[in-house]
Amino acid sequence: MRILLVEDNLVLSDWLSRTLSKDGYVVECCYEGEDAAHRLSDESYDLVILDLGLPRMKGEEVLQRLRSRHSNVPVLVLTAQDVMASRVACLDSGADDYVTKPFNVAELEARIRVLLRRNANHRNPTLTCADLSYNSNTRVFSLKDRDLALTPREHSVLETLMMRGGSTVSKKALAQSLFTLEESASVDAVEIYVHRLRKKLQDSQAVILTLRGLGYLLKSNAV
């Protein structure tokens, strides 16, 4: 899951991006509004965390531009003032949720999980595909009720496939869920992780199908 964090307070941005990276998200940091607007029009993200008071372009305008392009990416706003009018305005202009600074990190993490699930049309925190299940709160995969040991990148690929269960995910989208703009995204690396995952899922009725030219699909093979 790839998150764009738009926050001009360097200390907060650094701390939050380290926390979220530890949670297993791929986090890209952006420190001003204009850069955020550019990245959002060029790249795809699973979620955006957006501060409103930003240099060069206000967060409100970044949000407006994003929604005027009919992008449905979930946006969680960080607002400094706990003013009802500004919270209402930000929800009305297309934010999905907000937290007021200073915020509790556990609450922010929970809200992120809710938005990611809602975006994938899952309300139940446990997702399943045949005998493979994924608890999106603890972020643990289990196969036939046993925890499945995965490396962080294998986890990231399987999580993306699971969250979009039933739909094909392009190789490019999988590569983007693995790498930030700062690291070079190799599409070939995705093939390696898929290969390793197939080995780990050998005994499972959940299979990763390759759809030539389209991407990958996680599917139940159960009769």
Question: Considering the complex, what minimum distance in angstroms separates the CB of residue 31 from Ca ion?
Answer: 9
Q: Which residues bind Ca ion (CB under 5 A)?
A: 8, 51, 53
- Closer to Ca ion by CB, 41 or 81: give it: 81
**Residue in the shown chain whose Cβ atom is closest to Ca ion:** 53
- Tokens at 144, concatenated: 């036939």
Question: Considering the complex, what minimum distance in angstroms separates the CB of residue 12 from Ca ion?
Answer: 8
- Closer to Ca ion by CB, 81 or 167: give it: 81
- Closer to Ca ion by CB, 53 or 94: give it: 53
Question: Considering the complex, what minimum distance in angstroms separates the CB of residue 80 from Ca ion?
Answer: 7
- Closer to Ca ion by CB, 11 or 223: give it: 11
Question: Considering the complex, what minimum distance in angstroms separates the CB of residue 8 from Ca ion?
Answer: 5
